[in-house]
Structure 1
Amino acid sequence: MKTEKIAILYLTRGGGRLASRLTPLLPQSTVYPCKGTLRQTIVSCWQEYDHLVCIMATGIVVRMIAPLLADKRTDPSVIVCDEKGRFAISLLSGHIGGGNGLAEKIAAGVGGQAVITTASDVLGHTALDLWAEELGLVVADKPAFTKVMGKLVNTGRITLYAGFPLPPLPADIVRVDHPEKADLVISCRSKKYLGAVLLNPRALVAGMGCNRHTPAEEFDVALAEACSEHGLALQSVRSLASIDLKSDEAGLLEFAKTRGYHIDFYDRDQLNGVDGVSTSAAVLKATGAKGVAEPAAVLAAGGGRLLVKKMKWKNVTVAIAEISNPLSVSPNEPAL
């Protein structure tokens, strides 16, 4: 789990005293006295830290951070405290940035009051953006998703469709039996549904074979072409798989690193143990395995369904399998 970095900024002696009380509560924090240097300190901390705790007036903070705001998914959270510690205000990135939780932790630690203004928290509804992030779901249409969040706040419930098992749902998210009835659809497909927002799970595994010295760009294009041709969402790809003979293939490794994909490698006996996949005499002669892309994809998907049989693009073969129960697997871990 990532250790989140916290910057504590203060202007006055009273702010410094509160900062001293906060550091034992937040051992991963760094304290910055900012008298005369506030603007440059905030600018330098903006990209380096996950959270900024500002012990000063809210108006000062608003004026300082306004030019820096970009996106709630990348901006740090900002918590504003008065120097007595009576209030901890979650000012920015309360949900995805974790500001609400940090404000509550600070308030509890110093005997103050957390000030949370996000509607879902105030009304007791599910924070959809956090819920989706925790499940590793990628939002295909962010503006439309924001409208669904508004519907949940205004009506108290939304509907969801998924074609595979789901973990227990919050009470205000109701599962339905058809995508046309849903506000949200969880699917690896790129197809859009009328009136519904698509959420792509990290549920696909790409098995890949290649000729020696294949450049990284060919893997990139081959995978994108395979997904596009079969109506699959590229952002649903979780990981890659291949034969162990390719564990030193520079182009494959570079492609995986650039895209952030984990790679599983399997030996020929493991690959030959997979039934129902395409075979190749040429591959068998070269590697001792009857096939690479298809059996590797199936193995890495935990025995999941093969969606795309092997396709060839220049020097690369690609096959894609779907993990049968993707939301039971951490989005950052390979399927077992």
Structure 2
Amino acid sequence: MLVAHPTFYSPQKKHAITHSIIPLTKGGKQLAQRLTTLLPGSTVITSQGNIHRTLAQAWKDHDSLICIMATGIVVRSIAPLLQDKTVDPAVVVCDEQGHFAVSLLSGHLGGGNALAQKVANLLGGQAVITTASDVLGLTALDIWCRDMGFTVTDKQGLTRVMAKLVNTGSVTLYSEYPLPPFPPDIMLSKTPDTADLLVSCRTDQDRGAVLLYPKALVAGIGCNRNTPAEEISEALDHACRTHELARESVRNLASIDLKNDEPGLLAFAHAQNLPLDFYSPDQLNQVEGVAASAAVLRATGAKAVAEPAAILSSGNGPLLVQKMKFPNVTVAIAEICQPCTLPTTLMT
């Protein structure tokens, strides 16, 4: 097997999880000071006369809010701020004695349930968690999908499947890729037609199952100098639509190392949070069976860029999209044959 080691560029930025602890009473402030010494990444924020404004600012600035006050005050204050569980911060409410830590909002994806349990453990109190899957000891499908790296665009559909899991105790799944061991309440389906969940990178599925898009595609990109990011984005969108592939399944981009300072390509990768692999002409020229171009060879020293870069970055996977030429961009897409590896979070 041909192995190439690319120069790697990642636009992803990690940040430390931050918690705002917001007390209201004198006793709440004492508990907040105690908690901030126990909980890394936490900051005590005191209200300056307007608790609604204080909570609204903390909502924007922090990953989670730990409110030491009555639940009713919190509910009324955050109601106008609610957007979606994928973006709302976690909200945990504590009484000023630390007896209870209530997971009020974003219990799964936002980490509210885990935070409530952690706060309760630190204070010697009781976590109050009401999400049905946790109470029943069932898999939280939204968390499982996130940990597996699956993108779900049909959020209402996933909610329906989660309801079925709670009501019946199991759901069915069909995958076009090998999967690591998964929870026992997710049952393997022999056919996609009978599945509640379908793991695929293809959009041409009309089977009633909720699609889970794995990171199974690599987009090889060739482009002229100073090609705008928007033009690269449109070319990739067009290639995915034409071949009925999910843009959400694109794991990363790949190109020739001559493009490692290309502004439009780097801007596009950054905007889409897509890592970039770069390969030398010698590495690209080792890939056989790709469409060669005399013009590309003269300009870059590589017989081709998009196709071999995609193949190398995918681990020598098959080409699903042979190079498509646009005025300033060339796109090819290769498939990662085993994209679903066991996440670290599921190994412990």
Output the TM-score relative to the length of structure 1. 0.95
Q: Is the 8 A contact 1:179 1:193 kept in 2?
A: no
Equivalent position of 2:210 in the other structure: 197
Point out the more displaced range, 103-112 or 269-278.
269-278
Paired residue for 1:114, among 100, 110, 127?
A: 127
Equivalent position of 1:273 in the other structure: 286
Cα offset for 1:253?
A: 1.6
Per the alignment, in what secondary structure is the counterpart of residue 233 of structure 2? helix
Paired residue for 1:212, among 207, 225, 230?
A: 225
Greater than 6 Å deviation, 4+ residue runs? none
Per the alignment, in what secondary structure is the counterpart of residue 138 of structure 1? coil
Equivalent AA in structure 2 for residue 91 of structure 1: L
Give deviations 1:179-205, integer Å, cap 9, x for gaps.
111100011111233220011112211
Q: Is the 8 A contact 1:11 1:35 kept in 2?
A: no
Identity, in percent, stands at 60
Tell me the distance in 2 between the aligned counterparts of 1:101 and 1:248: 42
Map 1:221-232 → 2, pairs under 5 A: 221-232=234-245
Cα offset for 1:140?
A: 2.2
Cα offset for 1:329?
A: 7.6
Per the alignment, in what secondary structure is the counterpart of residue 288 of structure 2? coil
Q: Does 1:292 align with 2:305?
A: yes
The alignment of Structure 1 onto Structure 2 pairs a total of residues equal to 331
Equivalent position of 1:302 in the other structure: 315
Per the alignment, in what secondary structure is the counterpart of residue 101 of structure 2? strand
Tell me the distance in 1 between the aligned counterparts of 2:15 and 2:210: 29
Structure 1 pair 285–329 and aligned structure 2 pair: CA distance change class (3 A): farther
Map 1:45-84 → 2, pairs under 5 A: 45-84=58-97
Cα offset for 1:210?
A: 1.6
Map 1:26-105 → 2, pairs under 5 A: 26-34=39-47, 36-105=49-118
Q: Is the 8 A contact 2:21 2:32 kept in 1?
A: yes
Point out the more displaced range, 189-198 or 227-236.
189-198
Cα offset for 1:317?
A: 0.7
Q: Is the 8 A contact 2:218 2:334 kept in 1?
A: yes
Tell me the distance in 2 between the aligned counterparts of 1:215 and 1:329: 37
Cα offset for 1:327?
A: 1.6
Point out the more displaced range, 244-253 or 201-210.
244-253
Q: Is the 8 A contact 1:12 1:35 kept in 2?
A: no
What are structure 2's unaligned runs of at least 5 residues? Answer: 1-13
Point out the more displaced range, 210-219 or 41-50.
210-219
Paired residue for 1:245, among 253, 258, 261?
A: 258
Cα offset for 1:278?
A: 1.7
Map 1:13-32 → 2, pairs under 5 A: 13-32=26-45
Give deviations 1:239-284, integer Å, cap 9, x for gaps.
1111111112222122212222111110011101112222222222
Tell me the distance in 1 between the aligned counterparts of 2:122 and 2:206: 47
Q: Is the 8 A contact 2:48 2:54 kept in 1?
A: no
Per the alignment, in what secondary structure is the counterpart of residue 45 of structure 2? strand
Equivalent position of 1:186 in the other structure: 199
Q: Is the 8 A contact 2:88 2:110 kept in 1?
A: yes
Tell me the distance in 1 between the aligned counterparts of 2:129 and 2:39: 20
Tell me the distance in 2 between the aligned counterparts of 1:195 and 1:260: 30
Cα offset for 1:213?
A: 2.3
Per the alignment, in what secondary structure is the counterpart of residue 265 of structure 1? strand
Per the alignment, in what secondary structure is the counterpart of residue 330 of structure 2? strand
Q: Does 1:152 align with 2:165?
A: yes
What are structure 1's unaligned runs of at least 5 residues? Answer: 332-336
Equivalent AA in structure 2 for residue 319 of structure 1: A
Q: Is the 8 A contact 1:218 1:314 kept in 2?
A: no
Tell me the distance in 2 between the aligned counterparts of 1:254 and 1:11: 44
Tell me the distance in 2 between the aligned counterparts of 1:20 and 1:30: 9
Q: Is the 8 A contact 1:230 1:308 kept in 2?
A: yes
Equivalent position of 1:169 in the other structure: 182
Per the alignment, in what secondary structure is the counterpart of residue 52 of structure 1? strand
Point out the more displaced range, 47-56 or 29-38.
29-38
Cα offset for 1:125?
A: 0.4
Tell me the distance in 1 between the aligned counterparts of 2:178 and 2:205: 21
Give deviations 1:124-179, integer Å, cap 9, x for gaps.
00000001111111112111111000000000000111111111100100112221
Q: Is the 8 A contact 1:182 1:196 kept in 2?
A: yes
